[in-house]
Every structure is written in structure tokens, then in C-alpha cells.
Structure 1
Amino acid sequence: MTFSICVRERYTDDSGADQVRFGVAVTTRLPAVGTLCPFVSEHGAVATQSLVNVDLGRRGLAYLEDGLAIGDALEALLNADKGREGRQVHGIDAERTFAFSGDDCVGWYGHDLGQNFTVAGNMLVGEAVIEETAAAYAADAHGERPLAERLIDALSAGHAVGGDKREDLPVQSAALKVATTEPTPMGEPLYNDLRVDATETPIDDLRATFEAAKRGWEDAMDRYADASEADSIDGAAEPDAEEPVERTDPDR
């Protein structure tokens, strides 16, 4: 199931507190990859692909919440998985990275571990796909733009050099998820959890969806800024009412 990237970024919030954000993004030449592959929480990010076992993502995050290291968590799950050699799974927690590509994955397949990211893919045109994905993220790691947007850039770089080799499957999908340890009174920005489930242009459509979602989120934050501060929807400013327009009927 194509290629994905998991990342960790440390940053300081507006109050001066240390925080961590995690992100995962994926694309494939099948519909609805966002229902299967990407998993993220304030404890880490996991991507499960090839012959997908969603328990590797769901239970992997649960193990991270319980305090296990990413490698211990995913190795324990893989060791109990009879389909282990058909799995590809990778991820990151607050301190470590992990990646596994089973011997039964379909070529080209492989993975790359950086200091603060992991990239993996299978059924690819070649190794350049994960190399370009990793390089695009690394070139703008901890950049000023939202992580979600930079994850799309990373997918775009891998897609541009060929991506998934199955050109006979035109219907594709893409997805991204971002989470942070930072408390957010109005919740995570809505552009941090996006999916494009069935399209022939997954990266372009994911980018367009991100741009629309970001604009909508910013408009909503402007509209409900007072409500956020008051922790009540009653604090929201209503838009100014339009002046009534007097109309005349020429036939009257």
C-alpha cells in the first residue's frame, strides 16, 4: 500500500512551554487509505501498510499511551501477528523511531529512518520515492508553515518521481493526521485530519482540501474568538444584520 511518512517535531508554544507535534501522511493507488493506514495521537504516529493490519496502528498507539517505546510496542504486536512478513509498519514516539518491512512485501519496498521521521513504501517504482519524500520533509522540518501542509509537500515529492507503480489503477487516495501535546481550547485545527478517498489526483486534491480547511478554520476562529476566551458559544459575536432593502413592484 504505497508510501507514507511519520514525523515528530518539538517546539515551544506561546506560553513558553515545551510541546511535541506528531504527524503522518500517506497516499496509495486504492480508495480510502485514510481509513486504514494513518494513526496519530499526542504520544506518537504509526503507519501500517502492505497487507494492512489496523491493530498495529490502533494498539500501537494504545501501547505508547501506556508508556512503551515505539519499538517495543510494535515488535510485540508483530511477534503475535501470523501475517508478520506481509506487513510494513513504521512510526515514531517522543524519543525513538521504528520501521519494519516484511520479506513478503511487494517490490520495490523499503524504509528510511531519520532523526525525527520515518518513511516507508511498497509497490513503488523505486527507492527514489522514499528518498525524495524524506528529503522534501527534511528540507523544511520545523518550518513556519503548518505541519499538515509540509507533509503534503513530502508526499508530492515522492509522487513526482513515480510513487505507486500500479498505473493501471487510476483511482487513488491520500490522507494526513497531526496531533500535539499542546492544550487547544477549541480542539485541533480541522486541517489536521484530512482525507481524499477516491480521486485520480490525490496530492493535488489533498492540497486543495487542506487550503479550504485552513481558510475555513481561520474564518471560524475569527468568528468565535470571543466564545473561545469565554469557553461558551454565547460569547460568539453575531455578524452584523443587513439593512432591510425596500423593494418596489412596477406592476403594483
Structure 2
Amino acid sequence: MTYSIVARDQETGAVGIIVASRFFAAGAMVPYVGPDYAIASQSWVNPIWGTDGVSQLAADQSALDVLDGMVQKDEGRATRQAHMIDRKGNVAAFTGEECTDWAGHELGDGFSVAGNMLVAADVVKDTAQAYRNNLDKPFAERLLLAMEAGERAGGDKRGKQSAGMVIHRGEDYPWLDIRADDHADPLAELGRLYTVAQETYLIVADFLPTKDKFSGHQNEDELGAKMEAANKEREESGYKSPSLASGTII
């Protein structure tokens, strides 16, 4: 009832998951992401594959070992689907034999795509190919473009309802975490939210405290200058914000 991508950006080291489904709030149930590892647990979801799995990946276990362990001890394995990436960038995936057709996965270099209850195998194939074809794009944009290709191939055979995208850049907290929980066109809504996030949110995100810099970047003048420059660039380009917010930012 879902398809998703788990990936690492080779340029920045960011890891992330993007998911879409004809199921409410898939972005709340499927992704489990850490600083440099990630798990997507789907089909008849077992959240423990995610919660226990990320703890094991954090302890430097390999994606294949973590996945094999989950499969072995879960009596409901036949209905489960999961894929993951470990701290070294290795990917692993499992699709139980009782997942609803079409169901399957494809592993790539630093990413994997998996889905179940899909229109056809082309959903996974086209999603993976679009990810490869857009390696020159920013990571979040690449994830969105890949999922949109899967949607054009038919996506979830029941229709659309929710989508979510979570990206971490080396920290325990996300650099970006956006969701459309109940929407007629959830991937388009994710795209809108990502566009709005670039206006201010992601500029501020680059100045947040980190494990290496507990107090964060205290140069308010630099932050202000970046925000002013971004505003000027948008004005000169004729950009019109798709934000639904009212009032002004202070």
C-alpha cells in the first residue's frame, strides 16, 4: 500500500526517506531516520523494525545484518516490506511473499526503492531510474522527482492520500521533515512545502546548533544577510510564494 525511497546523497552525506501511499499519514508510520542511516518499514507495518533497527544501525551493524535479524524473528514476515541504508552507505531490502501485488524492490548505488500494492513493477523501476537520472539535482528535489516518476507509472493502485519526506544531515534531529497526511495530491503538496521551506526555514536550519557546535552559529548579521539576499533574489525573479501563511515575518 506504499512506495518509498531510502537514500544517501553522495555530495552532502545527507540521508533521507520519501514515501507516498493511499493510506493516512504514511509519513508518520514508515520513515525511521538517524544522522547517517535510515529505515522504511511498510506493507503491514511493524514499527519495531524501524525503532529497533535504527538503534542497531547506530551501533554500526550492517543493513543486511539488521534486516536479516528482523526477518528471522518476525512471525509476520511474509506480509512485511522494509528497506534501509546503513552508516557505510550499504542498502538492503526485503519484500515478504504475501505482500499485495504488485510488490517488490530495487537496490541502487546508495539508494533503494520498494513498494507494494502498486499498479505494476514499472512504479519501482521508473522511480529508481528517475533518481539516477537526477543526481545533479539537490537531494530533496531528486527524491521528489523520483517519486513523481513512480506516480506517473501508476503509483499505489488504490489512489493517493499521503506523503512524507524526512532528511537528516548528520544530526539526530531532521534538517527537513514535511508531510501531507490527507491530501488529494500529496506529492504535489510536498513539493509546495519544500518550496516554502526554502524561503526561510532551510536558511535558518543551516544556523542551528549541532553536536560539534552546541550553541549554534551566533552570527545573526550573517543569517540576516542571507535571508535578505534570498528575499532580493526572489523579488528580482518575480517569485510568488505558494505559502498559505498570513501576515509578515519579523
Identify which of 72, 75, 90 aligns with 1:79. Answer: 72
1:42 positional shift: 1.9
Residue 165 (structure 1) aligned with residue 167 (structure 2): no
Which amino acid is 2:25 matched to?
A
Give the corresponding residue for 2:94: 100
**Matching of residues 55-204 of structure 1 within 5 Å:** 55-93=48-86, 94-141=88-135, 143-145=136-138, 147-167=139-159, 172-181=161-170, 188-189=174-175, 192-204=176-188
1:84 positional shift: 0.6
Which amino acid is 2:218 matched to?
A
Identify unmatched segments of 5+ residues in structure 1: 12-18, 238-252
Give the corresponding residue for 1:4: 4
1:92 positional shift: 1.2
Identity %: 35
Q: Taking structure 1 as reference, are residues 125 and 144 closer, same or farther at Cα in structure 2, changes over 3 Å only?
A: closer
Between the aligned partners of 1:223 and 1:95, the Cα distance in structure 2 is: 26
1:44 positional shift: 1.1
Q: Taking structure 1 as reference, are residues 10 and 198 closer, same or farther at Cα in structure 2, changes over 3 Å only?
A: same
2:207 and 2:217 in contact (8 A); partners too: no
Between the aligned partners of 1:71 and 1:229, the Cα distance in structure 2 is: 38
Q: Taking structure 1 as reference, are residues 118 and 236 closer, same or farther at Cα in structure 2, changes over 3 Å only?
A: closer
Identify unmatched segments of 5+ residues in structure 2: 209-214, 225-250
RMSD over equivalenced CA pairs, Å: 2.8
1:216 positional shift: 2.5
**Which stretch of the first structure deviates more once superposed, 214-223 or 82-91?**
214-223
How big is each residue's C-alpha offset from its partner over 1:212-251, in whole Å with a ceiling of 9 and x where there is no partner? 1121325647999xx95327x79986xxxxxxxxxxxxxx
Q: Taking structure 1 as reference, are residues 218 and 25 closer, same or farther at Cα in structure 2, changes over 3 Å only?
A: closer
1:26 positional shift: 0.4
TM-score by length of 1: 0.78
Residue 46 (structure 1) aligned with residue 39 (structure 2): yes
How big is each residue's C-alpha offset from its partner over 1:172-193, in whole Å with a ceiling of 9 and x where there is no partner? 0000111123x79xx754xx21
1:74 positional shift: 1.7
Q: Which has the larger radius of gyration?
A: 1
Between the aligned partners of 1:174 and 1:84, the Cα distance in structure 2 is: 24
Identify which of 197, 210, 218 aligns with 1:230. Answer: 218
1:148 and 1:177 in contact (8 A); partners too: no
1 or 2, which has the higher strand percentage?
1
**Matching of residues 208-223 of structure 1 within 5 Å:** 208-218=192-202, 220=204
TM-score by length of 2: 0.79
Between the aligned partners of 1:38 and 1:188, the Cα distance in structure 2 is: 12
3-state DSSP of counterpart to 2:70: helix
Q: What stretches of structure 1 move > 2 A for 4+ residues in a row?
A: 218-224, 227-231, 233-237
